[in-house]
Amino acid sequence: MRRLTTTALCFALIALAAPVVRAQQTPLLQDKPFAEHKIVLQLSDSDPKKQGLVISVANNLMKHYDPDKVAIEIVAFGPGIELLKPDNPNRKLVESLVAQGARVDICLNTVDTIERETGKRPDYIPAATPVQVGVAQILLLTENGYTLVRP
């Protein structure tokens, strides 16, 4: 009886963990089923002017369209992940965008590379959604109807 209970408990834990594992392995798409406009903004350099431009474009889109009718996803990779560091001056603006329904992705390949090169894993804001490969996320989004914009 004890063995049966242990086996059943193990299967229950596996069943509960499977969606979490799948979510970590599968790039996520924005969950806005009624979005009529889908935009992915690429950020791949650390220039503060470029960061400001990406934030400005996202804000302008949020103001122009009903927030339920527009899906905005910012994908940061390479030097672009600077935008998502806790000490970035634009942090509050990024968090405001996320609070309004935008999504901000951070490339884990970039994070892993920085950790390998420096011996320290870079911190990033909790509002950032980790994706394994930033460029693959952009490809997935464009294949699913998003328009790529590189400000």
Instruction: Collect contacts of 34-37 with beta carbons under 8 A, ≥24 apart.
Output: 34/68, 34/69, 35/68, 35/69, 35/70, 35/71, 36/65, 36/69, 36/70, 37/61, 37/65, 37/69, 37/70, 37/71
- Are 57 and 97 in contact, with CB atoms under 8 Å apart? no
Q: Which domains does the chain have, with CATH numbers?
A: 2-149 (3.40.1260.10)
Q: Walk along the chain (151 residues) and give the pLDDT tens digit of each residue.
A: 555 444 444 444 454 444 443 334 444 555 677 899 999 999 999 999 999 999 999 999 999 998 889 999 999 999 999 999 999 999 999 999 999 999 999 999 999 999 999 999 999 999 999 999 999 999 999 999 999 999 9
Distance (Å, whole) CA 47 – CA 36: 31
* pTM, 2 dp: 0.80
- Side-chain-side CA neighbours of 85 within 13 Å: the count stands at 17
CB 35 within 8 A of CB 71: yes
Q: Which residues contact 56 (CB under 8 A, 6 or more apart)?
A: 151
Token match 């560091």: residue? Answer: 85
